[in-house]
Structure 1
């Protein structure tokens, strides 16, 4: 076994700590009372030993002076706490980084989001069951993700540009298959306004901008939500432990929303998109920030880089599955890098390293804002396809069913005739 990391790759010695050993490498710092009084009470001993294992707020850890007396931590501002620059010994931060210990013990935000998404998915199944008689759409076509129909997903808040703005080639008079339609071609048609739901458009143009957000909480079926929640409860949960809930929440939703904005610009407008994949990719991006910022503290960083690259390629490949949008993945990854660089607590052992990190942070903040403003404006005021006609192939495999990724990718009926 490699003593520097062992089989588990934790990056620290595998020797067992012994609080009573004379070997400094095997013992915690002994209180002065051990040397002065061999009859120290067991209660007192347990308290001293327990302190080394108590999981505290790592940005406010209380170091010990040489004589074993506690040193009161200095007052730390909220900004320092957010960026991980509060009172906390550098050596201890490095050791905790190698052990995978972060700012907090429990990923409360990840747990809350997972519960909310499971609840929303149950509601999706109920809605489809009421409409078609079965929670999983089997007619007119089988949902490959084993979930509700396309119309039900749009009605519940999927990112679907025709519900959000006027789309060239998709008239407001367009009719689509109703939620309860099971025929192919559809014999029960509903207006676009009825399918979009949420009270319709109130005699105005489609304006359901909130779909950039609601789509994050929806999933296309059992396969989709199981894969996403596994990733969320593992990778995303660890990032929350390391970043803290506040920084994680900002990163998660910035990545998820921006992924939907990017997809709204360049994906086929007739293909609804849903899922937390963009937000999860944003948290995956933070692991890349961690890898390069803490390269010398990582266990076998080159091997880790190879595995992370393979995982990233597989994740992008999954973006070609129906109802999943690769632009959401790529947009979430991009915004996760920018926001993660800004908010992730990086260990800076030297002034040069600290200056480099602050340089990246100061560049990332305005770039993230500019990307949001430009792409949201582009979504509502121009035709993104005109600027990048080939971009759609990043999230679409050309087939006869989608007109080889041309047009809107939507089969429409208006006035009873096919368009």
Structure 2
């Protein structure tokens, strides 16, 4: 729920004299001083959707572990189940899943993303369900902590509707790009959606550039965070295609959904409609919005058509495999 800004107190308290002077002339309107309108970019909304997403992800992980039932399905081939005192909620052996989580078969059963299932078995719903699944406790904790730190502030500033759209559509976009390059490997996690929020933060900073006082430092800090997270994505068993796809979709959505009104429009928004002279947004904000909308629709359409036709992205980009894993003397990428 949006809280009232300090504008109201300026309107009600700062214009008593002007209202008294105009009692004899009802056709005269005296505008409040411009100083009464203070643009406050801090929190205006109560965050509830992001905490709900966190609870939903945890609940899905618990259900996945219940279905996994290591004691029944492991049969000791990979070693003993971890934390056996948890019963059917115990984790797969570390040799199979070092992230303390379920087996690949359980993740597949719950809706994990696999190219064969999406293309040959027409299970497109996996592009959405995989966003809510996690490979283990470590994976879940890392993503949920990131979601809390990033998502709550964005929801407080822009409301649940816009942030919810960015989260879900970015997660879907990350899944589409991941599936194009995935091959026969399984992919799960909310990383694409989280990178969508990072992309939206970058877009918000760019499109609202004029309202930031320390804009260069804010931009550099955000870019460092993004680069570090993308660099982690070149390690084995990390799906960097989901990161990149989610980031690009979130960036475009940020230009579409997160522009802030310019100061001049805010100062005159209480004037009669005919008196307003300035537009709500600057010209470059409209250009970014329109261009981003075109790129978003075109990009998702092309990617979906390619995927549904059964194409493999690696056939069109032979070096793209290095985006998600760079082989070194310490590890190989053939099984990633």
Q: Flag whether TM exceeds 0.5 (same fold).
A: yes
What CA distance in whole angstroms lies between the structure 1 residues aligned with 2:226 and 2:186? 23
Unaligned stretches of 5+ residues in structure 2: 20-32, 75-80, 83-89, 265-277
Aligned to 1:396: 325
Indicate the structure with greater helix content. 2
The one-character-per-residue Cα deviations of 1:244-269 (angstroms, maximum 9, x if unpaired) are 111111111110000110111123x1
Q: For the Cα contact (< 8 Å) 2:259–2:285, is it kept in 1? A: no
- Equivalent of residue 59 in structure 2, options 119, 142, 146: 119
Residue pairs, 1:143-182, within 5 angstroms = 143-166=97-120
What CA distance in whole angstroms lies between the structure 2 residues aligned with 1:226 and 1:314? 18
The reply to whether residue 284 of structure 1 matches residue 198 of structure 2 is: yes
Residue pairs, 1:35-74, within 5 angstroms = 56=3, 64-65=11-12, 66-68=14-16
Residue pairs, 1:224-303, within 5 angstroms = 224-267=139-182, 269-303=183-217
- Equivalent of residue 297 in structure 2, options 369, 379, 393: 369
What CA distance in whole angstroms lies between the structure 2 residues aligned with 1:313 and 1:223? 22
What CA distance in whole angstroms lies between the structure 1 residues aligned with 2:198 and 2:37? 22
Q: Against the structure 1 CA distance between its residues 163 and 94, is the aligned structure 2 distance closer, same or farther, given a 3 Å change threshold?
A: farther
Q: Against the structure 1 CA distance between its residues 292 and 125, is the aligned structure 2 distance closer, same or farther, given a 3 Å change threshold?
A: same
The one-character-per-residue Cα deviations of 1:338-386 (angstroms, maximum 9, x if unpaired) are 1111111413235586221112111211221111111011012133222
What CA distance in whole angstroms lies between the structure 1 residues aligned with 2:171 and 2:108? 18
What CA distance in whole angstroms lies between the structure 2 residues aligned with 1:304 and 1:254? 25
More off after superposition, 328-337 vs 310-319: 310-319
Q: For the Cα contact (< 8 Å) 1:278–1:328, is it kept in 2? A: yes
How far the C-alpha of 1:61 sits from its partner, in A, is 6.0
Residue pairs, 1:103-114, within 5 angstroms = 104=45, 106-114=46-54
Note the aligned Cα RMSD (angstroms): 3.1
What CA distance in whole angstroms lies between the structure 2 residues aligned with 1:398 and 1:278? 23
The reply to whether residue 325 of structure 1 matches residue 212 of structure 2 is: no
The one-character-per-residue Cα deviations of 1:279-321 (angstroms, maximum 9, x if unpaired) are 1111111211222233343353222222212211221123245
Q: Against the structure 1 CA distance between its residues 360 and 294, is the aligned structure 2 distance closer, same or farther, given a 3 Å change threshold?
A: closer
What CA distance in whole angstroms lies between the structure 2 residues aligned with 1:94 and 1:142? 57
What CA distance in whole angstroms lies between the structure 1 residues aligned with 2:6 and 2:48? 18
- Equivalent of residue 336 in structure 1, options 224, 227, 250: 250
Q: For the Cα contact (< 8 Å) 1:272–1:323, is it kept in 2? A: no
The one-character-per-residue Cα deviations of 1:163-190 (angstroms, maximum 9, x if unpaired) are 1123xxxxxxxxxxxxxxxxxxxxxxxx
Q: Against the structure 1 CA distance between its residues 92 and 121, is the aligned structure 2 distance closer, same or farther, given a 3 Å change threshold?
A: farther
Task: Answer with 1 or 2: which has the greater Rg.
Answer: 1
Aligned to 1:213: 128
How far the C-alpha of 1:322 sits from its partner, in A, is 5.2
What CA distance in whole angstroms lies between the structure 1 residues aligned with 2:53 and 2:107? 19
Q: Against the structure 1 CA distance between its residues 224 and 322, is the aligned structure 2 distance closer, same or farther, given a 3 Å change threshold?
A: farther
Q: For the Cα contact (< 8 Å) 2:234–2:322, is it kept in 1? A: no
Q: Against the structure 1 CA distance between its residues 400 and 376, is the aligned structure 2 distance closer, same or farther, given a 3 Å change threshold?
A: farther
More off after superposition, 388-397 vs 57-66: 57-66
Aligned to 1:179: none
Aligned to 1:176: none
Q: TM-score, normalised by structure 2?
A: 0.77
What CA distance in whole angstroms lies between the structure 2 residues aligned with 1:272 and 1:63? 57
The reply to whether residue 138 of structure 1 matches residue 53 of structure 2 is: no
Q: For the Cα contact (< 8 Å) 1:252–1:279, is it kept in 2? A: yes
How far the C-alpha of 1:401 sits from its partner, in A, is 11
Q: For the Cα contact (< 8 Å) 1:341–1:360, is it kept in 2? A: yes
Q: For the Cα contact (< 8 Å) 1:256–1:278, is it kept in 2? A: yes
SS in 1 for 2:326: coil
What CA distance in whole angstroms lies between the structure 2 residues aligned with 1:344 and 1:207? 35
Aligned to 2:78: none
